[in-house]
């Protein structure tokens, strides 16, 4: 489907032009945005709480630092998350667990956030993930002939099994020399296994690398609920105003009230490769 | 005392081509009674014994007057010659001068193909759909699309027929052009309300396009070279006055432009229309018509995309008697699209199609000069293949996968009586009964909650064998029209129709795309229904030179198919959990002044309309403006015959902007993405749309007596270079280097066509 939308975008840009216009917008009440992450990797767990801003505001969405945040699990975990102590503006909205936690496959985790007398709750399950068999590098001949960035035409190939007896949902993240990269700025790499065979036999991943770069790939197994959140997010980010794509709407999430964001529980594996 | 009645009947044809003429007026002067030829060019009129003068009139043709001594039944086919003054008198509607007021039917527009060819056209390609989009009661989603929206209905509610075969997607190049090649069109009519009982299956309109039969007297040809596409048409008799053929082809060459731009891309479309017909005698006629059209897009030989329609119509017209006319048709239609990626690791080919085979019979029974009865039956078998995917290499990550096909039988019976009580008062009363069955083989999944598209719990399944009925739906569609003549030049009309639609478009954008799929009414989707009432005032002025039409309508639609917010419509095995059927309501006022005779012809129309939709779970269950709700629409369309050498054409269109959802705010997630946040659907409007197009047609060297004639069409699209909104999207605001400015977003408007001149060269031989 993404291919289609990309294709349509290309079509519209071939046949049309665009220019900025001013929208006459109504002021809307700010809404809470809660993002929570719990994985099998203790370094990847956090909660971030912000609020929406008006469309034309030129400020960072404000951090909410007064919330009570508690994570509980069916494995008996009960951890409080505390606001980050530092004062770097980009980190103000983060909450980290008091003691490190590692999610266990098969368990259900619940996030409770209390802010301004209201409690927002969401639950998600940690699914087991297969290991990555290997990564390999590959020269894309088309990119080599006409590279967007000089010398960057290596791609990483992924080899891993795809269990056929379970319904699986994946999220991928790609890093170049430690920085997360995307082929197109608004890409989100999620997949379900409906159309997938039993083996990723060297699937080309989207980011290009230079000789000598360190490529890292993270593969997350997420639940259907989380998968839908990311798919919806991708649709709303890439929306064309409802001409061909569906009319834009907020992503579905697992909170028990009408707020934005999502609580994602995932198992993750990672592998890296130096391009040579 | 029993009166002896006799019948005068026959076909009416064009004297130079042998083409049957649709809608020719036949009038018995002394009785002031008349009829008109049907869709196959046949008429029948029963009057008491006597001597009568009968007039045959058809705009653009010489009037024929004949005197008959009706002491027995007379079957005589008449040939009409095109009027010698044709160049001064352009045809606007194909009927008698005052048919618009005297006919019982209303809410109907005929498209004159001669005029369409003289109007300015995008890239010089004449297109009837672009003229349909200017008619009162019809709105568009903007420019560059072949979709249209009739009286508050959405674009999937139009039944588009070419020689009786349905076209599921009428677009070429995503709607820049339509599938209708102007060179082969004989007659096209748009029914917006008071829809005749012989039509059914869609809620809002019928666009019935009929192609020409081919010249049965002599060979002729036509060819055209345009800026984007070229056409050629050949036609002639197989056996003079008995059988004829017509073949027409059209191909675009957009790809050559892209090649010049240095891209190894292939983008093209083509159409082929072919038809043969055979008059065994005046009692039996046979036709076979084929249409084949396809778009192929290929990007760097990696990404491939194509779609197309194929239709075939076999038709047999039979006269049981002078009074009973039978048309029997067998119709096949196929729409498919394909999408593929050539890649060793991710190669795939995805296909989807919809096929149908229909048999139908339509009887016209000309009971007497005041009463006509039409009745008929039809049956269709439909197969919907929502999609199948296959890997194209052994190492592809993709597995073979198929969504189950859906099967349906679609039957209908109808009857309709048209009666003139006196010279003032005509009534048409009809009933159509569709009977729709979705049938096996199919597996219906049962859900704990079929409205929950996140946490899907299947609780069981129902398995249906071949031909076993899954669900059947019967409908009763009353049709009613009446006409009351106020005086010789004005009338009032009222109509009501109910329509059911059992074919549902699975798409949630405003404009349908070739890779949308369709589904039949079945276990979860119920038939969509529309009720429409319309009334109008019709007046002709200055000896039928001007006609004035005022119409008002109200339409209520029930069970219209919509989808949940964020619905996943592609490759979803649990698609029923996304279905949300709701209601929609539309009302409007349409006015049109048309000038039908003289050097200057054309129309001015203004429509005031409103359409709202309510879909469960969407927009917090509140009604919202329909995607195509555009309050004001104003159009001017004109052609002017300056001389035998020059003909000028112009169109102007103005419309309120299309509704659109715009953000209430923005936020940030993952420390990176800044999505918009929405509180309301379609709460905003795009800027107004307006555009002026002009054209000039030049016939050089008219004086030379030679076998071939040529003409040039010069066209300017968007004369004053208006940046008309296509859509609005939002994005991160960029600095001068094209890099994102953090924490700033902006809205951007896409507009399509700047001022675009084009030249088309046409020859006829």
A148 touches chain B (CB under 8 A): no
Chain A residues with beta carbon closer than 8 angstroms to that of B742 = 60
pLDDT interval class at B510 (50, 70, 90): confident
* B34 in Cβ contact with B26 (< 8 Å): yes
CA distance linking residue B40 with residue B362, whole number of Å: 11
CA distance linking residue B57 with residue A233, whole number of Å: 63
Classified as helix, coil or strand, B493 is strand
**pLDDT single digits (tens) B444-468:** 999 999 999 999 999 999 999 999 9
For chain B, the farthest-separated pair of C-alpha atoms sits apart, in whole angstroms, at 96
CA distance linking residue B705 with residue B758, whole number of Å: 29
pLDDT of residue B196: 95
Which of the residues B345, B512, B615, B677 would you substitute to probe the A interface, choosing the one with the greatest number of A C-beta atoms within 10 Å? Answer: B677
Statement: residue B64 has pLDDT above 50:
yes
pLDDT interval class at B333 (50, 70, 90): very high
Of B397, B568, B663, the CB nearest to A201: B397
Classified as helix, coil or strand, B748 is strand
Q: Is the peptide bond before B654 cis (omega within 30 degrees of 0)?
A: no
Classified as helix, coil or strand, B155 is helix
> What pairs with residue B521 in β-bridges?
none
Taking CA atoms, what residue in A is nearest to B339? Answer: A4
CA distance linking residue A62 with residue A48, whole number of Å: 11
Classified as helix, coil or strand, B620 is helix
Residue B380: HSE in the Cβ half-sphere, 13 Å Cα cutoff = 29
Chain B residues with beta carbon closer than 8 angstroms to that of A48 = 671
A57 touches chain B (CB under 8 A): yes
Statement: residue B87 has pLDDT above 80:
no
pLDDT of residue B90: 37
Chain A residues with beta carbon closer than 8 angstroms to that of B678 = 236, 248-250
Q: Which residues contact B566 (CB under 8 A, 6 or more apart)?
A: A228, A231, A232, A235, A246, A249, A251, A252, B453
pLDDT of residue B630: 94
Taking CA atoms, what residue in B is nearest to A22? Answer: B747
CA A165, A254, A74 angle in degrees (round to 5)? 65
- Hey, what are B715's tokens? 């066209």
A145 touches chain B (CB under 8 A): no
pLDDT of residue B727: 87
Backbone angles phi, psi at B526, to 5 degrees: -95, 160
Which of the residues A89, A172, A249, A258 would you substitute to probe the B interface, choosing the one with the greatest number of B C-beta atoms within 10 Å? Answer: A249
Tens digit of pLDDT at every position of chain A (276 positions): 444 544 555 555 556 688 888 988 877 789 999 999 999 999 999 999 999 999 999 998 999 999 999 999 999 999 999 999 887 877 889 999 999 999 999 999 999 999 999 999 999 999 999 999 999 999 988 888 888 888 899 999 999 999 999 999 999 999 999 999 998 888 999 999 888 888 888 888 999 999 999 999 999 999 999 999 999 999 899 887 777 778 889 999 999 999 999 999 999 999 999 998
pLDDT of residue B262: 58
Percentage of residues of chain B with pLDDT beyond 90: 58
pLDDT of residue B341: 85
- Across chain B, what does the average pLDDT equal? 89
Interface predicted TM-score (ipTM) over 0.90: yes
For chain A, the farthest-separated pair of C-alpha atoms sits apart, in whole angstroms, at 60
pLDDT of residue A272: 95
Statement: residue B88 has pLDDT above 50:
no
- Hey, what are B401's tokens? 């996968």
**pLDDT single digits (tens) B266-276:** 778 999 999 99
- Hey, what are B40's tokens? 């196959």
CA distance linking residue B22 with residue B170, whole number of Å: 24
Taking CA atoms, what residue in A is nearest to B670? Answer: A35
| β-strand pairing of B205-211 with B158-162 | parallel
Backbone angles phi, psi at B255, to 5 degrees: -60, -30
**pLDDT single digits (tens) B646-661:** 999 999 999 999 999 9
Cross-chain Cβ contact B661/A61 below 8 Å: no
Within 10 angstroms of residue A76's Cβ, the number of other Cβ atoms is 7
Q: What's the DSSP call for residue A164?
A: S
* A169 in Cβ contact with A226 (< 8 Å): yes
Q: What is the pTM of this model?
A: 0.90
Q: What totals of helices (H) and strands (E) does chain B contain, helices first?
A: 4, 52
């Amino acid at each position: 489907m993404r291919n289609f939308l990309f294709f349509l975008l290309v079509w519209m840009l071939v046949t049309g032009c665009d220019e900025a216009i001013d929208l006459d917008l109504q002021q809307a009440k700010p809404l809470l945005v809660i993002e929570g992450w719990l994985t099998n990797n203790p370094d990847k767990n956090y909660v971030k709480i912000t609020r929406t801003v008006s469309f034309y505001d030129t400020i960072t969405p404000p951090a909410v630092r007064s919330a009570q945040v508690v994570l509980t699990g069916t494995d008996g975990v009960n951890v409080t998350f505390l606001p980050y102590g530092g004062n770097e503006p980009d980190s103000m909205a983060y909450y980290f667990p008091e003691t490190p936690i590692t999610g266990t496959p098969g368990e259900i985790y619940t996030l409770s956030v209390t802010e301004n007398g209201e409690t927002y709750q969401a639950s998600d399950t940690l699914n087991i993930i297969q290991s990555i068999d290997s990564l390999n590098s590959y020269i894309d001949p088309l990119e080599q002939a006409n590279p967007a960035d000089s010398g960057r035409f290596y791609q990483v190939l992924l080899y891993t099994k795809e269990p056929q007896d379970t319904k699986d949902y994946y999220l991928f993240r790609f890093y170049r020399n430690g920085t997360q990269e995307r082929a197109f700025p608004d890409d989100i790499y999620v997949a379900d296994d409906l159309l997938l065979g039993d083996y990723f036999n060297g699937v080309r991943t989207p980011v290009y690398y230079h000789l000598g770069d360190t490529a890292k790939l993270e593969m997350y197994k997420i639940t259907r609920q989380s998968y839908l959140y990311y798919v919806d997010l991708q649709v709303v980010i890439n929306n064309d105003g409802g001409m061909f794509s569906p009319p834009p709407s907020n992503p579905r999430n697992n909170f028990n009230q009408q707020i934005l964001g999502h609580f994602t529980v995932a198992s993750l594996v990672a592998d890296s490769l130096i391009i040579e | 005392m029993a009166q002896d009645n006799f019948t005068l009947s026959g076909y009416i044809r064009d004297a130079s081509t042998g083409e049957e003429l649709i809608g020719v007026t036949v009038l018995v002067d002394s009785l002031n009674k008349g009829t008109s030829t049907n869709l196959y060019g046949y008429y029948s009129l029963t009057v008491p014994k006597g001597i009568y003068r009968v007039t045959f009139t058809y705009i653009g043709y010489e009037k024929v007057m004949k005197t008959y001594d009706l002491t027995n039944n007379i079957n005589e086919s008449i040939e009409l010659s095109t009027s010698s003054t044709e160049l001064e008198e352009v045809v606007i509607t194909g009927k008698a001068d005052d048919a618009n007021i005297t006919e019982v039917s209303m809410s109907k527009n005929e498209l004159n193909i001669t005029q369409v060819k003289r109007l300015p056209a995008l890239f010089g390609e004449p297109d009837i759909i672009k003229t349909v989009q200017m008619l009162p009661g019809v709105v568009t989603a903007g420019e560059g699309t072949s979709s249209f929206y009739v009286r508050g209905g959405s674009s999937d509610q139009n039944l588009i027929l070419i020689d009786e075969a349905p076209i599921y997607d009428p677009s070429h190049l995503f709607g820049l052009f339509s599938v209708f090649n102007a060179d082969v069109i004989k007659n096209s009519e748009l029914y917006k309300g008071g829809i005749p009982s012989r039509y059914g299956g869609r809620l809002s309109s019928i666009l019935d396009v009929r192609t020409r039969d081919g010249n049965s007297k002599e060979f002729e040809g036509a060819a055209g070279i345009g800026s984007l596409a070229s056409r050629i048409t050949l036609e002639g008799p197989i056996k003079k006055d008995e059988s004829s053929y017509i073949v027409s082809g059209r191909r675009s060459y957009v790809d050559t432009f892209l090649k010049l731009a240095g891209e190894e891309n292939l983008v093209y479309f083509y159409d082929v229309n072919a038809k043969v017909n055979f008059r065994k005698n005046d009692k039996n006629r046979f036709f076979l018509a084929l249409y084949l059209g396809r778009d192929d897009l290929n990007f760097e030989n990696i990404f491939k995309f194509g779609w197309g329609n194929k239709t075939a119509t076999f038709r047999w017209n039979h006269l049981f008697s002078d009074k009973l006319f039978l048309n029997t048709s067998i119709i096949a239609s196929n729409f498919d699209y394909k999408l593929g990626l050539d890649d060793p690791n991710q190669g795939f080919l995805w296909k989807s199609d919809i096929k149908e085979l229909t048999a139908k019979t339509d009887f016209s029974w000309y009971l007497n000069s005041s009463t006509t009865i039409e009745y008929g039956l039809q049956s269709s078998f439909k197969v919907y293949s929502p999609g199948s995917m296959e890997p194209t290499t052994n190492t592809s990550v993709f597995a073979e996968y198929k969504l189950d096909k859906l099967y349906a039988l679609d039957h209908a019976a109808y009857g309709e009586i048209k009666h003139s009580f006196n010279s003032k008062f005509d009534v048409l009363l009809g009933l159509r009964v569709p009977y729709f069955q979705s049938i096996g083989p199919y597996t219906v999944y049962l859900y704990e909650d079929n409205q929950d598209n996140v946490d899907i719990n299947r609780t069981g399944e129902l398995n249906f064998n071949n031909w076993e009925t899954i669900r059947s739906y019967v409908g009763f569609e009353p049709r009613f029209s009446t006409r009351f003549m106020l005086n010789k030049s004005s009338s009032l009309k009222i109509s009501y129709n109910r329509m059911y639609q059992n074919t549902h478009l699975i798409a949630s954008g405003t404009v349908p795309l070739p890779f949308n799929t369709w589904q039949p009414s079945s276990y979860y989707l119920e038939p969509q229904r529309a009720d429409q009432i319309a009334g109008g005032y019709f007046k002709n002025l200055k000896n039928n030179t001007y006609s004035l039409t005022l119409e008002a309508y109200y339409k209520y639609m029930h069970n219209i198919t919509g989808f949940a917010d964020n619905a996943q419509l592609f490759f979803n095995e649990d698609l029923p959990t996304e279905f949300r059927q709701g209601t929609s309501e539309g009302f409007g006022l349409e006015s049109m002044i048309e000038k039908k005779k003289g050097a200057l012809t054309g129309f001015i129309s203004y429509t005031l309309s409103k359409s709202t939709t309510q879909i469960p779970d969407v927009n917090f269950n509140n009604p919202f403006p329909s995607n195509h709700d555009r309050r004001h629409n104003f159009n001017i369309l004109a052609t002017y015959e300056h001389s035998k050498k020059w003909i000028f054409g112009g169109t102007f269109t103005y419309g309120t902007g299309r509704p659109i959802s715009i953000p209430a705010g923005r936020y940030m997630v993952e420390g990176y993405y800044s999505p918009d946040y929405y509180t309301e659907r379609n709460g905003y409007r795009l800027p107004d749309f307006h555009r002026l197009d002009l054209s000039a047609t030049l016939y050089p060297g008219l004086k030379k007596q030679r076998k071939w004639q040529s003409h040039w069409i010069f066209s300017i699209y968007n004369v004053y270079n208006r940046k008309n909104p296509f859509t609005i999207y939002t994005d991160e605001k960029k600095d001068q280097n094209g890099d994102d400015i953090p924490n700033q977003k902006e809205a951007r408007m896409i507009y399509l066509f700047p001022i675009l001149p084009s030249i088309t060269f046409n020859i006829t031989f």
